[in-house]
Amino acid sequence: MSGLFSVCLLSGCEDAQQDASASATPTQAHPKNAQCYTSPKIPVNIQYGSYPYWGDNPTENNIHNHQTELSEIEKSQDKTLVYYSLAIIIQADKATEMVSKETFIPQEAQLEVTALNSLIAQAQECYKAAPPSNNASLIRYSFLLDSANQYSKFVAERIQRQQNKVAYSEGEKAQIGGMTEWMVKGSAGRVIRAYNRVVSSFNELS
């Protein structure tokens, strides 16, 4: 036994084991994210670039129509980056619909944000697993994830302000309803502007 151990030390048995592990296919190495090891492919019946900006169309219609598309994507290719990108924009739409109102229930809004953050985290894992080579469009998914993370932070600010009943200062009141409302921390305008950036990133996917 000791002789075999010595031979292993000299011949590199451990290296051989590592080589064998390295030769495993991506799906074997990461079965959880196996579907993410293929380059994102948008189904021909799904049109990116069609998600409306805030206020262009009724939110309820957007969510219903795109949830149908989301189900089709999951059936055809499982939960890939294509799936997560659409799921994120739908969830952001739901959250914006809630917190854009003058008053809302913070606890209910927090549930929407928690769901969004979960989708973002899953999408990030899928992005890490996706093949970086021969896929120039992959970088666009990183832009979407960055904008979604920023949006989530602004929604959290909005919820916190509502929960703590923080009144707007006189200076902030002058900005509410104007072009610079997005600069007011915890305002609906700040959330909507961030949401539209998520939509923009989503619509640039290809």
* CA atoms of 96 and 47, how far apart (whole Å): 22
The answer to whether residue 16 scores a pLDDT higher than 50 is no
pTM: 0.79
What tens digit of pLDDT does each residue of 39-76 get? 677 765 555 667 888 876 666 777 887 888 899 888 88
pLDDT at 68: 87
Contact 141/205 with Cβ under 8 angstroms?
Answer: yes
pLDDT at 47: 58
User: Residue ranges per domain, the chain?
Assistant: 1-31, 38-203
pLDDT at 57: 65
What tens digit of pLDDT does each residue of 94-131 get? 999 999 999 999 999 999 999 999 999 999 999 988 87
